[in-house]
Amino acid sequence: MDGIDAALVQFGKSDLSIVATVQHDYPTELREKLFTASRHPDSCTLDNIGELNSWVGETFRDAGLALLRQGKVQASQVRAIGSHGQTVRHQPDAVHRFTLQIGDPSIIATGTGIDTVADFRSADMALGGEGAPLTPAFHDWLFRDDFTNRVVLNIGGIANITILRSGDDVVTGFDTGPGNTLLDAWTDKHQDVAFDKEGRWAADGTINEALLRNLLGDPWFAKAAPKSTGFEYFNLDWLAEKLPLNLAAVDVQATLVDLTAVSIANSIPAAVSEIFVCGGGAHNAYLLQRIADHLPDRSVATTSAAGLDPDWVEAVAFAWLAMRRINGMPGNIPSVTGASRPAILGALYDA
């Protein structure tokens, strides 16, 4: 919920070029209401969700229009918008499983004059899948190497990996656990800022090994893939149940960095030699250093080293998934999500 990443992309048969990018902030009031709705669902009404659905759609529309201006491109030149939407709830383990992304795609389509593909996750979940992660198909298309085993590591609120084995077309991937979600929440609570820039605060702390063992002992980490999670599970309430008394806030932050780093490192197969990082966590220098410390003799770099700026991998991925939908091609990978078969993802909203 940091904001909206919008990318205007031209796709070739096996490559792409980025025409323009825009990072479009949420209005402060909207961001606060989204946090309240997602973190306190029991107090969220249907009116809240309805209003937020329209408001997010309007903000996505404005981001799309800003992107057209930035790229000096007419709406008629763009085949489609891929809109992931704003996740407010993801419950793949509920009795009646669901995932909820809001941001009215009709508002986006009519407001920009561009056909819009949205609701990417539902089809996979209807087939028994987790609905996440969905970016591995794009990672496979862009980052696969014929001679090197690679992992693409996305560190957003939750961290997820895509495992690309050379000489093997089977792609695997899953959520590894918390990425930035606990780091940001703890920083906001104790430093009154949205995030710990470059991990500087955490770097001043001392990792508490007993707390780290307690956190890693949560049964979720031992759960077999396919698996996905969200802030519904990994949040400050979860942390509070495991915290010892009188531990300095900075030491908790340092330990939370290692929780992310160790849970990622434990998920990466020994045969992988290259790890490419994208997402907001790619800017946390201390976190990247801790990941590298736990993965000696492996190369850890951002996706810039593989040809795509880490800030835009996710936005480009959903443009790619929209292209797949327009062309009637599957977008999920059953070996990643656990769906019973490949599926064409997303619904098309005509402009």
Note whether 333 and 171 are within 8 A (CB).
yes
CA pair distance 115, 122, nearest whole angstrom: 19
Q: Which residue has the tokens 């402009």?
A: 351
* pLDDT (tens digit per residue) in 116-148: 999 999 999 999 999 999 999 999 999 999 999
* pLDDT (tens digit per residue) in 14-40: 899 999 999 999 999 999 999 999 989
Picking from 137, 170, 167, 124, the residue whose alpha carbon sits closest to that of residue 337 is 124
CA pair distance 177, 297, nearest whole angstrom: 23
Helical segments of the chain, H only: 28-39, 46-71, 105-112, 122-126, 136-143, 181-191, 200-203, 209-216, 219-222, 236-240, 249-265, 285-294, 313-326, 334-337
106-128 b/e with 16+ CB inside 10 Å = b? Answer: ebbbbbbebbbbbbbbbbbbebe
1 has pLDDT over 90: no
Write the single-letter amino acid at 201: W
* pLDDT (tens digit per residue) in 260-307: 999 999 999 999 999 999 999 999 999 999 999 999 999 999 999 999
Rg (the chain; Cα; Å) = 20
Q: Residue 183 is encoded by which pair of tokens? A: 């780091």
Q: Residue 247 is encoded by which pair of tokens? A: 């531990």
Q: Which residue has the tokens 């759960």?
A: 223
Beta bridge partners of 330: none
* pLDDT (tens digit per residue) in 201-249: 999 999 999 999 999 999 999 999 999 999 999 999 999 999 988 999 9
Picking from 141, 5, 135, the residue whose alpha carbon sits closest to that of residue 60 is 5
CA atoms within 13 A on the CB side of 232: 18
Q: Residue 124 is encoded by which pair of tokens? A: 């996979």
SS3 116: strand
Q: Residue 274 is encoded by which pair of tokens? A: 């290259």
CA atoms within 13 A on the CB side of 172: 13
What does the pLDDT read at residue 107?
98
Orientation of helix 105-112 relative to helix 46-71, angle to 10° = 30
Quote the Cα angle for 305-311-316, to 5°: 95
Q: Which residue has the tokens 């198909």?
A: 137
What is the bridge-based pairing of β-strands 116-118 and 81-83?
A: parallel
Domains detected in the chain: 4-130+312-349 (3.30.420.40), 136-306 (3.30.420.40)
Beta bridge partners of 91: 98
- The phi-psi region of residue 211 (left if phi > 0; otherwise alpha if psi is between -120 and 50; otherwise beta) is alpha
